[in-house]
Structure 1
Amino acid sequence: MARMLSYSDKGSVIHSLSGTTKLLYFLIWSLASMITYDTRLLLFMFVVSLVIFRVSKVDFEDIAFVLKLILVFLCINLIAIFIFSPEEGVKIYQSRTQIVHLFGNYNLTVQQLFYEMNVALKYFTIIPIALLFILTTNPSEFASSLNKIGLSYKISYAVAITLRYIPDMQRDYVIVSQAQQARGIDMSRKVSLLKRIKNVAAVLIPLFFSSMDRIDTISNAMELRGFGKKNKRTWYAAKKMKRLDFAVISALVILAVIAVIITFAGGSRFYNPFV
């Protein structure tokens, strides 16, 4: 069974940060990554995200399964970009260096490859931080942090349930898929791709109904406990902001400002090495 994508306290510096700090880090980091197409800045952010991932002490095996799925969608995205806009890089960088003519209007150019490399870099910059946010944040502590900054405790609690629900979904998927394979539904590489996609549908349908049952159980339990009748609530896993949290937030804001300045310094979001 694959490892579950869930919170596990490894005692690292990243784990000791407040949930609010990690949320702000994730949001600002993602926003900066999405705005810029400066390859130099994206490479720097990618290296920093790898360093942070290393400091967190999270094992690669914990994210291997999810990372493979993300890489598949990344490849699909890059192929779709080339199919629907094979000259996008040429338009952006205002130059053309053709490598090979494929067929019809499709030509493989250095500019298109460079543009799609930047798109891939965006994925690789955001993915480690996004996964760290899930793996290093206690859902209950994170919910209390959201409530402290003014978010309704009902919404905060919904976020906590969502974070706790991710490993349950993974576990249910593995159990259902193994049950279907025991019934003779093959999802291995021995069958064709179309056959595997069709067989995966046989897993998703029971998984959907299992999720609906779980949602009904959770909602009934919350209603029996009187959830939502009071305007405020106390939190068992509340965590105060420390100096390290304020230092990280300050450093992040400075980095975001520098990223915006570098991105728009030349009048464009795109770094053009072909000029």
Structure 2
Amino acid sequence: MTNRLIGFRPGDSFLYQLSGASKLIFFILVSIACMTTYDTRFTLTIAVFSLLLFKAANIKFKEVSFIFFLVIVFAFINVLVVYFFAPSYGEKIYGVKTIIFQGWGRFYLSSQELFYLFNLIIKYFCTVPLAVIFLITTHPSQFASSLNQIGIPYKTAYSVSLTLRYIPDVQEEFYMIRMSQEARGIELSRKAALRQRIKGNLQIVIPLIFSSLEKIDTISTAMELRRFGKNKKRSWYSFQTFHKGDMITMFLAVFFLLVSFYLISLNKGRFYNPWL
């Protein structure tokens, strides 16, 4: 069960030595860069770079495989929906029509549409590995102090820290409840029918939401009793100053963002057209 929880896990790769703020800035700027351009050369480069960082973080794939499975399923559904509503959108973008499969009526497949859908899929692999790396390699307390370090109010930073801390707790409680239900004879594994699994998981999620709200109220009351938020500034136990690695990380983030803007100017739009 522990392997299925998404949250901070101790490690010894260089990514753990970076400040949480620098990793967040890198994730946000690179995500913006990948979302603003459809230049396949750029997005493929970022996707490969993200996967290399994922490997460098020494994160075992089996620990996060279900996340990638969900992303693949969502990407597949997204591609089907886009194709269903706009099967000729690619040729409108690139100004060329090269039919690969004639199909039926308006549902034919062209090289341009296939290329456009391929670009949509690549974007997932640009950002999802970075998000997983950020969650697993960043300690919530250290991340909160880093956010406050770059000028974000400490109340907001502490809220983010509590959120990151609470994600694994919610997941663990969910799996514990599900295991208890299965021990009572309620089948929720893959052996059960899909409808039964959905109904059973919903019966877990609803009480879990109410128990989570109750915990939030308890934490808020405890913080108020300790006069949290009285002062405008506070000190941090897990404080980390920016070092050379953080500077390089933020420089790369800005560099990737500027490259995406340059490619938009070079391509005279967001889309790279290989048929020109």
**TM > 0.5 between the two?**
yes
Runs of 4+ in 1 over 4 A off after TM superposition: none
Distance 2:42 2:230 in 1: 48
CA contact (8 A) 2:154 2:234 kept: yes
3-state SS, counterpart of residue 96 of structure 1: coil
Residue 72 of structure 1, CA deviation:
2.0
Distance 1:216 1:36, change over 3 A: same
TM-score by length of 2: 0.93
Q: Tell me how far apart the structure 2 counterparts of residues 28 and 56 of structure 1 sit (CA, whole Å).
A: 20
Q: How far is the alpha carbon of 1:125 from its aligned partner? A: 0.7
Partner SS state of residue 163, structure 2: helix
Q: Which amino acid aligns with 1:260?
A: F
C-alpha deviations, 1:63-114, integer Å up to 9, x for none?
2122222222222212211122222212111222223344442222222221
Whole-angstrom CA distance in 1 between matches of 2:188 and 2:219: 32
Aligned residue number for residue 146 of structure 1: 147
2:178 aligned residue: 177
AA partner of residue 239 (structure 1): Q
Aligned partner of 2:91 in structure 1 is 90
Which residue in the other structure is 1:39 paired with? 40
Amino acid corresponding to residue 169 of structure 1 in structure 2: V
Residue type of the alignment partner of 1:270? F
- Contact 1:53–1:129 under 8 Å retained in 2: yes
What is residue 259 of structure 2 aligned with on the other side? 258
Partner residue in 1 for 2:271: 270
Give 1:220's aligned amino acid.
Answer: T
Alpha-carbon offset, residue 166 of structure 1: 1.1
- Higher alpha-carbon deviation: 190-199 or 224-233: 190-199
Q: Is the 8 A contact 2:30 2:256 kept in 1?
A: no
Per the TM alignment, residue 204 of structure 1 is displaced from its structure 2 partner at its CA by 1.6
What SS does structure 1 have at the residue aligned with 2:4? coil
Is 2:165 aligned against 1:164?
A: yes
**CA displacement at 1:248 relative to structure 2:** 2.2
Q: Distance in 2 between matches of 1:111 and 1:183?
A: 54
- Structure 2 distance, partners of 1:186, 1:99, is 45
Provide the C-alpha distance between the structure 1 equivalents of 2:198 and 2:97, rounded to a whole number of angstroms. Answer: 39
Counterpart of 1:133 in structure 2 is 134
CA contact 1:45–1:125 (8 Å) conserved in 2: yes
Equivalent-residue separation in structure 1 for 2:191 and 2:58 (angstroms) = 36
**Secondary structure at the counterpart of residue 99 of structure 1:** strand
User: SS state of the match for residue 238, structure 1?
Assistant: coil
Contact 2:33 2:256 (C-alpha < 8 Å) held by counterparts: no
Which moves more between the two structures, 24-33 or 181-190?
A: 181-190
Deviations 1:212-255 (A, max 9, x none): 12212211221222111221111000101112211222233223
Could you tell me how far apart the structure 1 residues matched to 2:177 and 2:117 are?
Answer: 37
Residues 180-219 of structure 1: matches in 2 within 5 Å? 180-219=181-220
Alpha-carbon contact 2:26-2:252 (below 8 Å) kept? no
* 203 and 96 in structure 1: CA distance in 2 versus 1, 3 angstrom threshold: farther
Question: Where does residue 4 of structure 2 map in the other structure?
Answer: 3
Q: Which amino acid aligns with 1:85?
A: A
Question: Structure 1: which amino acid aligns with 2:272?
Answer: Y
Displacement of 1:118 in angstroms is: 0.6
Give the gaps of 5 or more residues in structure 1.
Answer: none
Aligned residue identity for 1:30: S
Query: Per-residue displacement from partner, 1:8-30 (whole Å, max 9, x unpaired)?
Result: 22121111011111111011110
2:242 matches 1:241: yes
The offset of 1:265, in angstroms, is 0.4
- After superposition, the CA RMSD in angstroms is 1.7
What is the rounded CA distance, in whole Å, between the counterparts of 1:96 and 1:179 in structure 2? 57
Identify the residue that residue 111 of structure 1 maps to in structure 2.
112
Instruction: Provide closer, same or farther for how the CA distance between residues 23 and 178 of structure 1 changes in structure 2, counting only shifts above 3 A.
Output: same
Query: Is the Cα–Cα contact under 8 Å of residues 26 and 129 in structure 1 kept in the other structure?
Result: yes
Gaps of 5+ in 2: none
Comparing 213-222 and 23-32, the one that deviates more: 213-222
